[in-house]
Amino acid sequence: MGCDMHCIIERKNKTGEWEVIKGYDRHLLFMRGRKNDRDLGYYEENKKLIADWIYDGRNYELFATLANVRNDGNIRPMFPDRGVPEDASKETAEEVGDIGFDGHSHTYFTLHEFSDVLFDGYDMYMSVTPLKNFINTVIVKIKKLANNAYDGDDGVRLIIFFDS
């Protein structure tokens, strides 16, 4: 049985609350729309938040590096077992709730935290090829989305969790 990573990007708004920029799962959003208003209106209204592009690979070395998932003990994880942020947006709470018991190993990090941890363990982490690919694709995309964040790199975070 495989394990997949789910990603939600949140940004702090001008009132200091977190809001989803990207991160909805297409199937869950469709089902939530059917549950909410019995038509595609909800889906159409929220489809810009679908996260197909954030990360769609399955690389257990990356999962171990980011969140201690499928780790054989040879990798020091960057952000293990942090859970879902207490101040997560309502939309994030819904997405996590809709995955239910299949979701596990929830964690998160701001762009600033990611940079700090990467810098502190640069030689070790940059030897992990999947992490380099993740930085060059996902982190770069998040950085572009973060341009309008009120708190800079502290105002954007990636929430990740896994299913099995």
Burial class (CB in 10 A: 0-12, 13-18, 19+), 19: middle
pLDDT tens for residues 80-100? 999 999 999 988 888 788 777
How is residue 82 written in tokens? 């942090």
Contact 15, 28 (CB under 8 A): no
Residue 84 and residue 160: Cα distance in Å, rounded? 9
Q: What is residue 4's predicted lDDT score, i.e. its pLDDT?
A: 84
pLDDT tens for residues 111-152? 999 999 998 888 888 888 899 988 888 888 788 777 766 777
Question: Taking the model in full, what pTM does it have?
Answer: 0.81
Residue 147 and residue 162: Cα distance in Å, rounded? 27
Strand 18-22 and strand 103-110: pairing?
A: unpaired
pLDDT tops 60 at residue 29:
no
Domain total in the chain: 1
Range of the domain at 112: 4-163
